[in-house]
């Protein structure tokens, strides 16, 4: 299904997205930036009027045009303002993917507010923590049971009429709150290695620079687009509240692409149906999703010939999965595959590897984008050390942790990931110094899960680690040391932590014991030994 623009606006784009990089200080430290760039997130909407008649968002039977969307952004901002949002206000967005979610992000920006991206899978305890950290004035949600505390709860459905009440393409409202490059544009949460989710603060500079990198890499800088060319169609199944999801809801308006959202939980058959029906050109996600689709027995029944780009990230990409992608989708053999690396704290993607890179350098996650700098800190004899990143995309810090040193005074982000660089500057990952599990693309702080289990009166000690899983990449395993005389079952412990954790954080492998956990010198728990023993014991067996 292809749509073209019949009436392009010759005045668009108003802002040039350049290719030349310069050494230019920001936030008091040196770095690289693009010389010509947008200076506010709202300037990224300047290309939208020329796409007025195109479909922008598709979900199920719903199809929303760009003209309708642009007008709805103004109306949505007015609705938020009537609920107390003023420039600088934080608005918690706690919802699943939907057209209203996309509208909400842009409407918050249009009102001068700051979207705070809540994880829709959180427990109420994690919601309360997010509220206490960020102090939103409004909680915008699709969950009627949300306890919003001091924030005003507004159902996301209250934005729906904005789509119906906005015919045509209006001009911008006069009170356009642009802000400055270093002003906060977005707060997004990530699992740290020490406990509950942390609130990452990203500036307007960060959000724009990440998009600039992606557009340059994909040869889609706005001034180079042909407004009469067929529309690009992208399928998004990953949560829009993740940093990768945010880039999807921004990229499409800039390039006039169609954003197709799946409905409900991830379903391989639904994905196959959507690709065929919408003629999807680009579908990416975490490797777990790709594996489920490629292994589905009905794969061959669907026409997937429209696919020409399949970027993957969020978890390590195995050579076996790459081989299956090339075999099942032969049109991607020469072009269209990509592996990326980045994190919430880096504000998005830092490196990228294309088809040739993946073939010539197995295991690489690619080379850095033009404005990204990489450094390996304290490398060992094999060149392996902690990966440090400096880039305009990097966070300004964690909300509520002003003395945190994750970003040092020279602008280097200490990622907690271990890696090495080859002679050509391509990055390889060698593990994680941070104590996390990556389950199906979701980062899980082991300490957070351990603290929840330690609240149980029968638990003396616990170690949470990740163990390999054929589908999810990793799953959560808990080794629990019970108190003398205690006899809880794994089911009892699972039921105890469910209200305290997101569903994906609840351990799926349980090992209950009386013996002490193994330790290293200094009494630190030896998780490497624990993980190795569990992998040997599991051998593909079922959860206990």
Please tell me the chain's helix, strand, coil percentages from 3-state DSSP, rounded to the nearest 5: 30, 25, 45
Decide if 336-434 and 436-538 have a common fold. no
d(CA 453, CA 147): 24
Quote the DSSP letter at residue 222. Answer: G
Quote the DSSP letter at residue 360. Answer: H
Instruction: Return the closest-CA partner of residue 384 out of 433, 350, 443, 436.
Output: 433
DSSP run (H or E) holding 153: strand 152-155
- Which residues, including other chains, have CB under 8 Å from residue 180's CB and lie 6 or more apart? 39, 40, 204
Phi, psi of 360 (to 5 degrees): -85, -25
Neighbours of 30 (CB within 10 A): 12
Q: What string of DSSP letters covers 38-77?
A: -SSGGGGGTTGGGGTTSEEEEETTEEEEHHHHHHHHHHHH
**Three-state secondary structure string covering 35-47:** CCCCCCHHHHHCC
pLDDT tens digits along 56-86 = 999 999 999 999 999 999 999 999 999 999 9
- Which residues, including other chains, have CB under 8 Å from residue 207's CB and lie 6 or more apart? 41, 185, 186, 246, 250, 347
Query: In the chain, pLDDT over 70 holds for what percent of residues?
Result: 91
pLDDT of residue 313: 75
Average pLDDT, integer, range 360-378: 94
- Higher-confidence residue of 436 and 17: namely 17
pLDDT, mean over the chain = 89
d(CA 277, CA 176): 38
Query: In the chain, pLDDT over 90 holds for what percent of residues?
Result: 66
Length of the chain: 544
pLDDT tens digits along 128-173 = 999 999 999 999 999 999 999 899 999 999 999 999 865 554 444 5
Q: Where are the beta strands (DSSP E) in 422-498?
A: 427-432, 436-439, 442-445, 459-469, 473-482
pTM: 0.84
- Kindly report the CATH number that applies to the domain delimited by 436-538: 3.30.300.30
- The domain spans of the chain are 336-434, 436-538
Q: Which residues pair with 389 in a beta bridge?
A: 374, 413
Instruction: Return the CATH number of 336-434, one of 3.40.50.620, 3.20.20.70, 3.40.50.2300, 2.30.38.10.
Output: 2.30.38.10
Class of residue 165 by CB neighbours under 10 A (exposed 0-12, middle 13-18, buried 19+): exposed
Q: Which residues pair with 461 in a beta bridge?
A: 481
Alpha helix segments (H runs only) across 182-318: 204-217, 243-255, 268-278, 287-294
pLDDT tens digits along 473-498 = 899 999 999 988 999 999 999 999 99
């Amino acid at each position: 299904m292809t749509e073209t623009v019949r009436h392009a606006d010759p005045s668009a784009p108003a802002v040039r997205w350049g290719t030349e990089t310069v050494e230019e200080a920001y936030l008091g430290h040196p770095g690289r930036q693009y010389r010509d760039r947008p200076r506010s997130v709202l300037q990224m909407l300047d290309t939208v009027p020329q796409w007025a008649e195109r479909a922008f968002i598709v979900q199920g039977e719903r199809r929303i045009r760009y003209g309708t969307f642009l007008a709805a952004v103004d109306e949505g901002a007015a609705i938020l303002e009537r609920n107390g949002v003023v420039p600088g206000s934080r608005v918690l967005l706690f919802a699943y993917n939907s057209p209203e979610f996309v509208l909400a992000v842009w409407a918050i920006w249009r009102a001068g507010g700051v979207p705070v991206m809540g994880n829709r899978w959180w427990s109420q305890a994690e919601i309360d923590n997010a509220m206490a950290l960020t102090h939103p004035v409004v909680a915008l949600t699709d969950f009627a049971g949300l306890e919003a505390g001091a924030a005003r709860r507004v159902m996301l459905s209250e934005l729906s009429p904005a789509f119906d009440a906005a015919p045509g393409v209006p001009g911008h409202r006069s009170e356009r709150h642009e802000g400055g490059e270093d002003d906060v544009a977005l707060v997004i949460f990530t699992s740290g290695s020490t406990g509950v989710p942390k609130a990452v603060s990203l500036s307007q500079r960060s959000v724009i620079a990440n998009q600039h990198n992606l557009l340059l890499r994909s040869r889609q800088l706005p001034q180079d687009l042909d407004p009469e060319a067929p529309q690009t169609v992208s399928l998004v199944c990953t949560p829009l509240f993740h940093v990768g999801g945010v880039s999807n809801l921004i990229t499409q308006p800039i390039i006039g692409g169609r954003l197709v959202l799946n409905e409900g939980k991830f379903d391989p058959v639904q994905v196959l149906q959507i690709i065929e029906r919408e003629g999807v050109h680009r579908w990416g996600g975490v490797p777990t999703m790709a594996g489920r689709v490629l292994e589905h027995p009905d794969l061959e029944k669907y026409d997937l010939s429209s696919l020409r780009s399949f970027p993957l990230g969020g978890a390590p990409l195995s050579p076996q999965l790459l081989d299956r992608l090339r075999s099942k989708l032969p049109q991607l053999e020469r072009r269209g595959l990509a592996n990326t690396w980045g994190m919430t704290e880096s504000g998005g993607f830092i490196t990228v590897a294309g088809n040739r890179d993946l073939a010539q350098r197995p295991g690489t996650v690619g080379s850095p984008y033009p404005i990204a700098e990489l450094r390996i800190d304290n490398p060992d004899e094999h060149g392996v050390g902690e990966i440090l990143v400096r880039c305009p995309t990097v966070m300004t810090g964690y909300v509520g942790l002003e003395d945190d040193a994750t970003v040092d005074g020279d602008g280097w982000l200490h990622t907690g990931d271990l890696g090495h660089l080859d002679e050509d500057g391509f990055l390889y990952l060698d593990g994680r110094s941070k104590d996390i599990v990556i389950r199906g693309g979701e980062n899980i702080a082991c300490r957070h899960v351990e603290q929840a289990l330690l609240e149980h009166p029968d638990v003396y000690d616990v170690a949470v680690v990740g163990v390999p899983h054929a589908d999810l990449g990793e799953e959560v395993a808990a080794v629990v040391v019970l108190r003398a005389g205690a006899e809880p079952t794994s089911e009892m412990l699972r039921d105890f932590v469910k209200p305290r954790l997101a569903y994906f954080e609840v351990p799926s492998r349980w090992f209950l014991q009386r013996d002490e956990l193994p330790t290293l010198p200094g009494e630190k728990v030896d998780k490497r030994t624990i993980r190795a023993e569990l992998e040997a014991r599991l051998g593909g067996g079922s959860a206990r």
